Amino acid sequence: MEGRRKKRKQTKQPFVRRLLPFLRPYRLQTAALGLVMIMVGGIDATFALWTQQAVDRFIVPGTIQGLEGFIIGFLAVVLWQGINVLALIMLAGYLEMAIMHDLRNRSFRHLQDLELNYFNKTPGGWLMSRLTSDIQKIGQTISWGFVDIVWGFTTITGIVVIMLVLNWQLALVTLSVVPLLVWISRFFQTKILRSQRLVRRTNSRLTASYNEGLMGAATTKSLSREQDACDEFAHYTRRMDFMSVKSALFSSLYQPVVVVFGAIGTALALWNGGIRVNMEIITFGTLAAFLSYTAQFFDPLRELARVFSELQSARAAGERVFNLLETEAKITDSQEIIQRYGDTITPKYQAWPKLRGEIEFKDVSFTYEKGEQVLEHFNLRVESGQTIALVGATGSGKSTIVNLVCRFFEPSSGRILIDGRDYHEYGQACLHGNLGYVLQSPQLFSGSIRDNIRYGRLDATDQEIEEAAKTAMAHEFIVQLPKGYDTPVGEEGGLLSTGQKQLISFARAVLADPALLILDEATSSIDTETELLIQQAIQKVLSHRTSFVIAHRLSTIVDADRILVIDKGRIMEDGTHRELMAAEGIYHRLYRNQFIEEKERVLLS
């Protein structure tokens, strides 16, 4: 009992209740849309009555007396219906866009609050489909599904009521096929939807395989794996074909079934209605109205069956989006800190202290969510303006140390102080605003070179951008490009070489002028000339600020103020290049090995 109660407590709120806050700002529009749909459905249900009147008043008696008024009345109703349809398209379209807009913004805003590790754990493709297709599905189904449901129910109710009023016995005979049709419609729609879902799932696998094939083209070729890649792709296309044919088969079977049931309904109306006309229980016009209704009845029924099945998949999409929105950020700031320094979306720059960049790890231990302890009682004090190089084997903990400095992760125990204060006291926005991180593979955004450098400080003038580029040794290559600073860099900087991208990211860091800089030095090999430029640029970028360099090429860090040799999360050696070489320890060995390797490389090339 206790366990069950606990379980119930943990269950998430029902889907509709989670959705309501998103509909609340648009309740007026939703109510207006509901009203319009009731009118549209109601008018649709009365159209057959015009046929009845036309037959009984004009066709059977063979007179045209009063026809003008009848036609004017009919046209007025058609015109009114036209206006209603226009209103419904506008309102439903507005609602669809507004819901999608709000959900997208909320999700994107929420993603900004989540810690870096969330992005490490969550595949990019998964997030992309939450933000695109899932949100689109919710917007579409809620607005147009709402339209179809209100219209469907109003029309069906209207038709049934009118038929019963006209002649309830004939109504019951004609409608006797409906329960079976409802059941069959549900059956087919569920099948169709399920197979469409499988088609979509296979399609995303196919796209992933296509993507991997394109992105990994070089690796595939170098390993002669083309045949395997082709086989995998062929497997998914075959599966896709099979699923699509299955889905199309259900759709194509469903239509004739509905037509057959419609025909049975019409036959019943004709047979039983014919007898009643003969017995003069009903008029010719009433029989004509019944025949219209049997044809008209199945449309809303089909729509309702479709919408109810689609609601299932919209609900699944909704749950995925709400799960994203309800993911709690693991690294957060207190309300007091946010009020004082703002958050990442609304930073209060003026209130931020200018950091000197003194850093202290005080007895820091750290374990990743799933994994062994990486740091244990780790202590380190870095003076303002020092360049600290971190050296060590792969997996030794270098990135973990800098990720802790950046507060991408937080210590499991112990404290990190910046300028003598616990770094929680600055808040993430202020800390990150004072921090620069130059990655191994620099991230450029589509736009011009100028835009990409300006990303470091949005209010920088063109002259400041050029100054920064000069300091970072990027100016010379930029001015040689046909459009200079206005040259587009292409998607993710695809039109530039790795070395050029790195120089631009250095210029960006110079422009931002952070108190604290992290440099994950590139491992990719670049030509000697660019490498020399990059070395010079690094020296300039690092000067006058506290910097951590994760060094892969030891030649880069010979001038560092301190070199820390890390092994299994512990500092094994600590000193300048000269001191560590003289000590003839691990660093000495690493340096000599790399020196010999590089010499051999030069001799071989």
Ligand X SMILES: Nc1ncnc2c1ncn2[C@@H]1O[C@H](COP(=O)(O)OP(=O)(O)OP(=O)(O)O)[C@@H](O)[C@H]1O
- Strands ordered across the beta sheet of 421-422: 373-382, 359-367, 413-418, 421-422
Interaction mask 324-343, ligand X, x per CB under 6 A: --------------------
**Options 181-189, 245-253, 333-341, 395-403: segment touching ligand X (CB under 6 A):** 395-403
Q: Taking the CB of residue 52, how many other CB atoms lie within 10 A of it? A: 21
Instruction: Give min distance, CB of 5 to ligand X, in A.
Output: 35
**Options 138-146, 218-226, 237-245, 396-404: segment touching ligand X (CB under 6 A):** 396-404
One of 43, 45, 314, 374 touching ligand X (CB under 6 A): 374
Instruction: Give min distance, CB of 410 to ligand X, in A.
Output: 13
Q: Based on the number of CB atoms within 10 Å of its own CB, is 178 exposed (0-12), middle (13-18) or buried (19 or more)?
A: middle
User: Comparing C-alpha atoms, which of 183, 196, 198 is closest to residue 305?
Assistant: 183
One of 157, 296, 327, 399 touching ligand X (CB under 6 A): 399
Per CB under 6 A, 349 contacts ligand X: no
Element (H, E) at 48: helix 27-54
With respect to ligand X, which residue has the nearer C-beta, 374 or 496? 374
Instruction: Give min distance, CB of 373 to ligand X, in A.
Output: 9
Instruction: Give min distance, CB of 359 to ligand X, in A.
Output: 17
What CA–CA distances, in Å, run from 45 to 148, 176, 294, 515, 573? 15, 19, 12, 72, 86
Instruction: Give min distance, CB of 401 to ligand X, in A.
Output: 7
Instruction: Give min distance, CB of 579 to ligand X, in A.
Output: 22
Pairing of strands 413-418, 435-438: unpaired
- Which 3 state secondary structure label does DSSP give 448? strand
Residue entry with tokens 């399920």: 194
Per CB under 6 A, 294 contacts ligand X: no
Site for ligand X in 407-446 (CB under 6 A): none
Per CB under 6 A, 392 contacts ligand X: yes
Per CB under 6 A, 480 contacts ligand X: no
d(Cα 497, Cα 449) in Å, to the nearest integer? 13
One of 21, 25, 66, 395 touching ligand X (CB under 6 A): 395
d(Cα 405, Cα 418) in Å, to the nearest integer? 9
One of 143, 220, 247, 396 touching ligand X (CB under 6 A): 396
What CA–CA distances, in Å, run from 434 to 23, 541, 546? 40, 15, 11
Instruction: Give min distance, CB of 397 to ligand X, in A.
Output: 4
Q: Taking the CB of residue 462, how many other CB atoms lie within 10 A of it? A: 11
d(Cα 411, Cα 360) in Å, to the nearest integer? 13
Per CB under 6 A, 400 contacts ligand X: yes
Instruction: Give min distance, CB of 518 to ligand X, in A.
Output: 12
With respect to ligand X, which residue has the nearer C-beta, 371 or 482? 371
Task: Report how far Cα 253 is from the mean position of its chain's Cα atoms.
Answer: 36
Instruction: Give min distance, CB of 85 to ligand X, in A.
Output: 55
# residues near ligand X by CB under 6 A: 14
Per CB under 6 A, 565 contacts ligand X: no
* Cβ neighbours of residue 227 closer than 8 Å, sequence gap 6 or more: none
Site for ligand X in 112-171 (CB under 6 A): 117, 120
The answer to whether residues 337 and 425 touch, using CB atoms and an 8 Å cutoff, is yes
Pairing of strands 421-422, 413-418: antiparallel
Per CB under 6 A, 368 contacts ligand X: yes
Query: Interface residues with ligand X (CB under 6 A)?
Result: 117, 120, 368, 370-371, 374, 392, 394-400
